[in-house]
Amino acid sequence: MIDRNHRLSLARQARTLGISRGSVYYLPRPVSDADLTLMRRIDELHLEYPFAGSRMLKGLLNGEGHEVGRCHVATLMKRMGIAAIYRRPNTSKPAPGHKIYPYLLRGLAVTQPNQVWAMDITYVPMARGFVYLAAVVDWFSRKVLSWRLSITLSADFCVEALEEALRRHGKPEIFNTDQGSQFTSVDFTKVLKDAKIAISMDGKGAWRDNVFVERLWRTVKYEEVYLRAYASVSEARASIGRYLDFYNGTRPHSSLGGQTPDRAYLNQPSPIPAAA
């Protein structure tokens, strides 16, 4: 995929393939077939039961015949970048140098495109291995403004997706994420602050604060990812890219009055309700 002897720079090759620059230098640790099977099933169960933590997931997996302990489930969940979603007191502290910003969407009526953008990351299983998918979404229209794949959870592929969205679509008034280290990183928040965009972050472990991106992941996985067995990162990128083109330009949304995200982004249908 990446040719270190090619005349193009590694950074240029990474951009062409749609993967993060950091992924080029990452040396992955092998993951066993058994763990890949468990991770795929954990991902499916997390979509169905987002409130389930490692204890409940361990019980569900044991009930299906998988012999796995709670600690191993927790380890795999951390590797996948997922956690149980529910409201709880925020007793965590940001990483050194990382600032947590307040949630700005409560009670806000989103009435037009580019008022609020949101971003999130999800785990994508392949035939052998896995990647992470990050996407920037316009809350009003549900349009996917940009996206990136990466084999690591470093911040750089999120920064690249954010910069592309800003370059192609202007800028929002508010940008909402969770409190993941990618989004609280100095590099990521600097892009938003330099563009004078208000930064909003969900409560730690909050239930569906980033609701529209969560719905996007469910749609992408059931209509695309779970129907495939990507043989490589480049194949995953091409197939997911085709699906997202379909999602934006062809697939009607009942919440948009039957319009596609592309048309809603341009035509401005009825406003979506205020966030809870």
- Reply yes or no on whether the pLDDT at 91 is more than 50: no
**From CA 246, how far away is CA 183, in angstroms rounded?**
28
| pLDDT at position 84 | 83
Taking phi over 0 as left and psi of -120 to 50 as alpha, with beta for the rest, 58 belongs to alpha
Can you give the pTM of this predicted structure? 0.80
Q: Which residue has the tokens 């058994």?
A: 34
Q: How confident is the model at residue 89 (pLDDT cuts 50, 70, 90)?
A: very low
Share of the chain above pLDDT 70, in %: 79
Give the chain's domains with CATH numbers: 10-80 (no CATH), 116-267 (3.30.420.10)
CB 241 within 8 A of CB 224: no
Q: How far apart are CA 66 and CA 57, in angstroms?
A: 11
More confident residue, 92 or 203: 203
Tell me the average pLDDT across 92-112: 79
Of all residues in the chain, the percent with pLDDT exceeding 90 is 64
The separation between CA 31 and the C-alpha centre of its own chain, rounded to angstroms, equals 22
Q: How confident is the model at residue 12 (pLDDT cuts 50, 70, 90)?
A: low
Best CA proximity match to 116, nearest among 18, 202, 220:
202
pLDDT confidence tier of residue 232, bands split at 50, 70 and 90: very high
Between CA 207 and CA 86 the distance in angstroms is 5
Range from 25-39, 89-103, 115-129, 242-256 carrying the lowest mean pLDDT? 89-103
pLDDT at 107: 87
CA atoms within 13 A on the CB side of 170: 9
User: 31 versus 164: which is more confidently predicted?
Assistant: 164
More confident residue, 163 or 215: 163
Query: What is the distance between the alpha carbons of residues 10 and 32, in angstroms, rounded to a whole number?
Result: 29
Task: Quote the mean pLDDT of the chain.
Answer: 85
- Those residues whose C-beta lies under 8 Å from the C-beta of residue 247, and which sit 6 or more positions away, are 144, 216, 219, 220, 261
Q: Residue-wise over 39-77: b if at least 16 C-beta within 10 A, else e?
A: bbbbbebbbeebebbbeebbebbeeeeeebebeebbebb
Query: Of 51-65, 125-139, 200-214, where does mean pLDDT reach its minimum?
Result: 200-214
Q: In the β-sheet with 174-177, what is the strand arrangement from edge to edge?
A: 144-150, 130-138, 116-125, 174-177, 198-201
